[in-house]
Chains A and B, each alone.
Chain A
């Protein structure tokens, strides 16, 4: 469980986050949705301290994440896995070395245990055998999966995904979404996903927070989206006339 309390963030003149409080539950895929530039990335990075929020506090279960000392901060971060928007794989390292990096840095496992763990993670993301490839040799979807493998190698309790399916075709997006969801449920992880992908919203939206103009505009789950009367949400999710017709048909409204 992660709890954000009244997070604000200002860059110079621009107030990007205007006081956001959200509860992210364990074992669920918690979605942060909003238009490009709404501040999703800034919010996600504020939760893990990559961006210093201007005010507000963040709780990881019963640990107050704000104002932690260096060692305590590291202890929390070692329980966090993160998938970046551009995957952020180290491009001079192979797939295997990428996934092994956290193991090399933080564990005392021997070489055999490490390679077993790496192989397990690769298998989990259906990339068995890609060990020796370099990130540049992989497709965007495969890079995302390696990113997920690296994020889960230390058995995280919290998983952050910044737009996991941006730049992917719809089919691959669904594979990635399902993968994140099943890993979340298997390990009872608190997963937070930034997205503006309407498929993800409808498929894996256990908890959905809609960020609009720096505020939490709406929250609910995937089955509540259809029926919500929030205008901003409706125009964000059902952006095209085509989608609006589909929605109206699903709700049995006259088309």
Chain B
């Protein structure tokens, strides 16, 4: 318990240092652009793949569960839509992103720590907590909500592909479902989740890398911890956000 609080304290200190005035805006901007590219382009395929398949499975599963029940078939479109928007796209995408982006960031920063790159920058006078962390957080907060929105779209598309051509329900029913009971507020929830998760997974992963010690074993551990703790934080945040925003 004590170690938890000492880590948490150090995490907050790192974050406070991370958001201080850049030495040179241009250098931070270049770094942010590089990260946006890495996160956005680099993770698009995996997020798309997961979204299409989860959407597809969801529609087939609901079709199966609704068989022989009095619930109208077009509900499948409605359920797939809201499942994607509220839970699947933000939460599942970000759990996947923690595995890809988070472990990557922890390994990158941790490697720089071990090879004394961070020390070298510090001696030059660079605020490394800021230069190495802030651009990553900013890039993630911009890119991840976009990925999540795309994921929602692709999840619904996956649901359509899996159910309409296989005649589980008609095109008309699916579209009718998509248009029923639409609550714009749910899209708001989706973006809130995406932004919070993006912040959590990047800052936690950067923290794991920034304070790494030792050698390649510790680096591997930091990378794993980045994923595990990001996932835990995302799931906790999911629960809290859901309670706060739906009550």
Binding site for B on A (CB under 8 A): 45, 48, 50, 70, 73-75, 77-78, 80-82, 84-86, 88, 90-91, 101-102, 104-106, 154, 160
Contacts and interface: CB of A to CB of B under 8 A. Distances in A.
Contacts of B20: 70
Contact of A50 (B24, B27, B122): B122
A105 B124 contact: yes
Contacts of B117: 88, 90
A38 B140 CA distance: 44
Contact of B125 (A45, A78, A90, A104): A78
Interface string B104-140: 0000000000011101101111110000000000000
Interface string B157-191: 00000000000000000000000000000000000
5 closest A-B pairs by CB: A77-B125, A88-B116, A88-B120, A74-B125, A82-B123
Interface residues of B, number: 16
Contacts of B115: 86, 88, 91
B123 A101 contact: no
Contacts of A86: 115-116
B24 A77 contact: no
Contact of B119 (A45, A91, A154): A45
A101 B124 contact: yes
A50 B125 contact: no
Contacts of A74: 125, 127
Contacts of A82: 119-120, 123
A50 B23 contact: no
Nearest to A153: B124
A222 to B, nearest CB: 28
Given A45-B119, A88-B120, A104-B27, 20 more contacts: A50-B119, A50-B123, A70-B20, A75-B125, A77-B122, A77-B123, A82-B119, A84-B116, A84-B119, A85-B116, A86-B115, A88-B115, A88-B116, A101-B124, A102-B124, A104-B24, A105-B23, A106-B23, A106-B24, A160-B123
Contacts of A78: 124-125
A73 B123 CA distance: 10
Nearest to A81: B123
B120 A84 contact: yes
